[in-house]
Chain A
Amino acid sequence: MEERALKTDNIPLRKILVYLIYILILPSLQVLLSGRISFFGHPADLMLIFVVLTGFLYGFYDGIAVGAIVGLARDVLSPVVINGSEQEVSVSFGIGILVMMLGGVFGSLFFEGRTNRNFPLALAAVVSYSALYKILGNAISILWQNLFVGGASNTDILSILLRSVLPALFINAVAVIPLFLLLRFLGPVRWTKKRGKGGKELTYGDSGKWLTI
């Protein structure tokens, strides 16, 4: 099936408003909930889940655009602090945009055209990207420390898995449930409009490759 190009003159106002509301509320909600709901010290990464689900449910262009804006919010609110070899530190800019944008793209490409856009697959998409995010984050952090900074303690893969990766995957998987329902039923596209013949959704996403729910 042929790919559909982005039509910027045909973006409904509802879509912009709904995304704007989510983008403004989720970072605040994440800060607020991080001290209240966590699993082994790991709070849910609502912003990451949101961008993956947006790409997954509403396609490539929505995923990449929303991912970039959410990533910008991440860079502004919690920038990555890079440390050098002599304890000097610098605040970086752009890593949040990159990570979140790729999250949106990942969601949109996840099993595209092969399965339905349903909840189990959404869960799998979020868990997969969360795993990638955590594993890459740990790998880069360890490499940076060993190559450029020095003085890192011994790396224990089991400890990383048990203390960092698995708790984050679990709490993110739990947080997928409310966010999936919100984006599905209070999302940028009216849910009732998406129902076609026989109660099946016909146009879902922007690539034209997706199967119906």
Chain B
Amino acid sequence: MRKLLTSRWFIVSVAVLILAAVIILGALPGSPVNFGKISGGMGNLFAPVRNVVNKAFDAFDDYSSAVFDGMAIREENRQLKSEIAMLQYRLRQNEEAAIRYEELKDAFHIRDTFSNFEVYGASILSREADEWFSSIRIGAGEDTGLYYAEGLSYVIVDVNMNLVGRIISIGDYESNVLPVTHEGFAVSCKVNEVNSSTYILSGDSELKRQGLCKITGINSNNIPDVGSEIVTSGEGGLFPEGIPIGVVESVDTSNSMNIVAVLRPYSNMYDLQDLFILVPNEAPEVTEDGGESVED
């Protein structure tokens, strides 16, 4: 008996069986055991180490920049000075335009894309984008004011306000983000022009490997052109209208009943440094048809 218990194959078999049970139990809808919540606090263990590693790399980067980039920095500095002068000139012009815009906005009740949202920054704790693991973990959770509610999910954008994904689970201090390229992601979208038809953008297991998404629900009379910019349509209320997603890379019209376009998202998962969470100012109101609206 002792020989059996210490047998390596026995240990591996038992461990695999237990883990299989844990995986299945955790994946069942309405599972009573929330393993994600149990393990959520463990992410905090890595926070101090991550900070030390980041600081060490930053220090190394600074040092190597000081040694090797002197000439390049001087040249860049010269170019930046002339660029600042140009930008200051444009800023003066834009200040005038901004005043005019505010006047028009009040007069015509124009809504800013993010006027109903607070924008919070969050650091990336981890990211994986392979066949097994495909999610981003960010350093913002219930402590930042995020909370779970039926029909509510938070939109994640990058520093250029391009769509990155949405939050799918919220912990005490951290949250998991589902990226746009994941098969489980879907959003209503349109070409970034007035009166464009809406399509459905979703992830695809095959395209994910190339960092791409697919667009379906395309009407043969309204096919998006290759190179056109795709933005969120705002339908459903979860995502505000006008968030840039990416550009159409190709369109397959071989089957007129199922026209599929391929989109290259602006945000590249591995290039992301900081993320921003769009938090609605008001709690969303779930409508009868399952969508929700954000009150002004």
Contact = CB atoms under 8 A, between A and B. Distances in A.
Interface of A: 3, 5-6, 24-25, 27-32, 34-35, 38, 41-43, 45, 60, 64, 68, 72-84, 87-99, 101-102, 105, 133-134, 137-138, 140-142, 144-145, 149, 151-156, 159-160, 163-164, 168, 207
A78 B131 contact: no
Contacts of B57: 32
Interface in B203-255: 204-207, 209-211, 214, 216
B39 A81 contact: no
Interface stretch (B72-80, B85-93, B265-273): B265-273
B178 A81 contact: yes
Given A92-B26, A92-B27, A28 B183 contact: no
Contact of B132 (A30, A89, A137, A155): A137
Contacts, number: 179
A64 B11 contact: yes
Interface residues of B, number: 64
A164 B61 CA distance: 30
Contacts of A93: 22-23, 26, 35-36, 39
| Pairs of residues from A and B, 7 with the lowest C-beta to C-beta distance, nearest first | A83-B184, A137-B131, A93-B35, A77-B126, A89-B184, A78-B128, A94-B23
B22 A3 contact: no
A87 B137 contact: no
Interface string B22-35: 11001101000001
B174 to A, nearest CB: 9
A92 to B, nearest CB: 5
Contacts of A159: 206, 209
A168 B53 contact: no
Interface of B: 6-8, 11-12, 15-16, 19-20, 22-23, 26-27, 29, 35-36, 39-40, 42-43, 45-46, 49-50, 53-54, 57, 124-128, 130-137, 168-169, 176, 178, 182-186, 202, 204-207, 209-211, 214, 216, 260, 270-273
Nearest to B124: A31
Nearest to B57: A32
B56 to A, nearest CB: 9
A64 B15 contact: yes
Contacts of A75: 39
B8 A3 contact: yes
B49 A78 contact: no
21 contacts: A3-B6, A27-B50, A35-B271, A73-B46, A77-B125, A78-B133, A79-B36, A81-B135, A81-B184, A89-B182, A91-B176, A92-B26, A93-B36, A93-B39, A95-B133, A101-B15, A133-B132, A153-B204, A154-B206, A155-B206, A163-B209
B133 A79 contact: yes
B236 to A, nearest CB: 12
A141 B131 contact: yes
A76 B132 contact: no
A76 B131 contact: no
B12 A105 contact: yes
Contacts of B271: 35
Contacts of B168: 81, 89, 91
Contacts of A141: 131, 183, 205
Given A43-B270, A79-B176, A81-B168, A134 B131 contact: yes
B137 A77 contact: yes
A78 B137 contact: yes
Contacts of B40: 76
A159 B206 CA distance: 9
A20 to B, nearest CB: 10
Contact of A98 (B19, B46, B185, B260): B19
Nearest to A68: B15
B190 to A, nearest CB: 19
A35 B270 contact: yes
A87 B39 CA distance: 25
Nearest to B40: A76
B209 A24 contact: no
Contacts of B135: 78-81, 91
A96 B134 CA distance: 12
A83 B137 contact: no
Contacts of A84: 184
B22 A83 contact: no
Contacts of A74: 128, 133
A97 B20 CA distance: 10
Contacts of A87: 184, 186, 202
B53 A28 contact: yes
Contacts of A90: 27, 29
Contacts of B184: 81-84, 87-89
